[in-house]
Amino acid sequence: MSSSRKLHLNAFLMNTGHHEASWRHPETEPQRTTDIRYYQQLARIAEDAKLDSLFLADGYVLMGNVKYRASAGLEPFTMLSALASVTERIGLIATVSTTYNEPFHVARMFASLDHISGGRAGWNIVTSSGDATAQNFSLEAHPEHSSRYRRAREFLDVTTSLWDSWADDALVIDRQAGIFADTEKVRPIHFKGDTFSVKGPLNIPRPPQGYPVLVQAGSSENGKDFAARVAEAIFTAQQTIEDAQAFYADVKARMLQYGRSPEQLKVLPGLSPVIADSEWEAQEKEAELHRLTIPEYGLTRLSELLKVDLFEYPLDGPLPYDKIPTVDSINGNKSRFQLVVDMASRENLTIREVILRTAGGRGHLTFAGTAGQAADLIEEWFTNGAADGFNIMPPHLPGSLIDFVQKVVPELQRRGLFRTEYEGRTLRDHLGLSRPANGYWSASG
């Protein structure tokens, strides 16, 4: 590993925090989950710590049982546009599905966000999951897994073509001659594929970054291939350093067949840390959150993920492995399904224990300990081929985010692993990614 290589850290914001009982924690404010001033406060905390970006997950269905969790939230483009106005450097990553949107809309919205923020936009490309989502878009069932990825590949071809439909120097703005733009440098794309037919051009100039940073969050075989082909960062869930190393090596090796180098993709596992001045205190803070967990919510969540009604089985008994389907039959989040099944089997967990192990990170790595111990874990994964950084998932907000940036970030900086100041202004600058050339105008001259 090069000594100049630097760690990347994102703040993954989710209403009151990532622990499913966070809304019951006395230091959270669940009544503010639709208050933009709350998210602006969080954004400033993350930017003050020089984190690479803010990341917002999103879905098109009311997830879980809203009776037991604060699960409603603001739409990402709207929220990130508001956050752009109170920040200057931190990246802004929105999750947008290729299954339930049209390329022109998405290309236009990301170009707008990139212009509004001065080049800080990122797109977490997902294909969505679940029949409940499909039924909000006039469909009975969610499209099949491989067909969703075929659509996603074509969707991305359309959006990048639309961003390239304006040459970087298309704007002339010659008042005396009366010429605003050179129309020879604004072109239709005339895209015709298996799914989409889009004339173009886009009705907004090329984004400051060329393209927003392209992020992917699927870890299935299709997901890894898609990431190797197009992604510049991949969010993943891994429970052990060995699994993380295998994933890291696999996805980076796949890039070679697409003519890409491993440095063009940043692998960022999720990490949900509980930080305190002593290990005992951290474990007590985690236990406090676990005590607030409502088993009915966890049972609903796991039953949906594992495709079996767990309400029929004792909480302190094992998962009904003989009733759980194989991963090949899952038409949703295949990688997360397999991760939870493998974890429960490997560690011989009861249903109650699986609920608690996944309550804080939904399958992402959870941690309770001191800042030094957290930095040790991060450094070990970073320096041993398991990660290029982490997607930090605070268990409760704002407290857990404050603990991380005030205690762990300074320790990582002391070790020379993380920046002390931003060196650039765009998200591509932060991640060490080049600005993509305009494919059309480079080829046509």
Residues tagged in the binding site annotation? 58, 95, 145, 149, 219-220
Tokens of 389: 């950084």
Q: Where are the alpha helices (DSSP H) in 33-102?
A: 36-48, 76-84
CA distance from start to end of the chain = 39
Residues 54, 92 contacting (CB under 8 angstroms): yes
Distance CA 168, CA 309 (A): 54
Give the relative orientation of helices 145-163 and 103-117 as an angle to the nearest 10 degrees: 50
Closest among 70, 76, 93, 113 to 11, alpha carbons compared: 93
| Inter-CA distances, 255 with 192, 233, 258, 276, Å | 27, 12, 5, 39
**What are the binding residues for FMN?**
58, 95, 145, 149, 219-220
Give the relative orientation of helices 241-254 and 221-230 as an angle to the nearest 10 degrees: 50
Sign of CA dihedral 83, 395, 392, 301: negative
| Inter-CA distances, 311 with 308, 317, 348, 444, Å | 9, 12, 19, 62
| Inter-CA distances, 44 with 50, 251, 370, 378, 406, Å | 10, 33, 24, 23, 13
Closest among 23, 24, 8, 101 to 58, alpha carbons compared: 101
Residues 53, 122 contacting (CB under 8 angstroms): yes
Distance CA 331, CA 386 (A): 28
218: Cα within 13 Å, side-chain hemisphere: 28
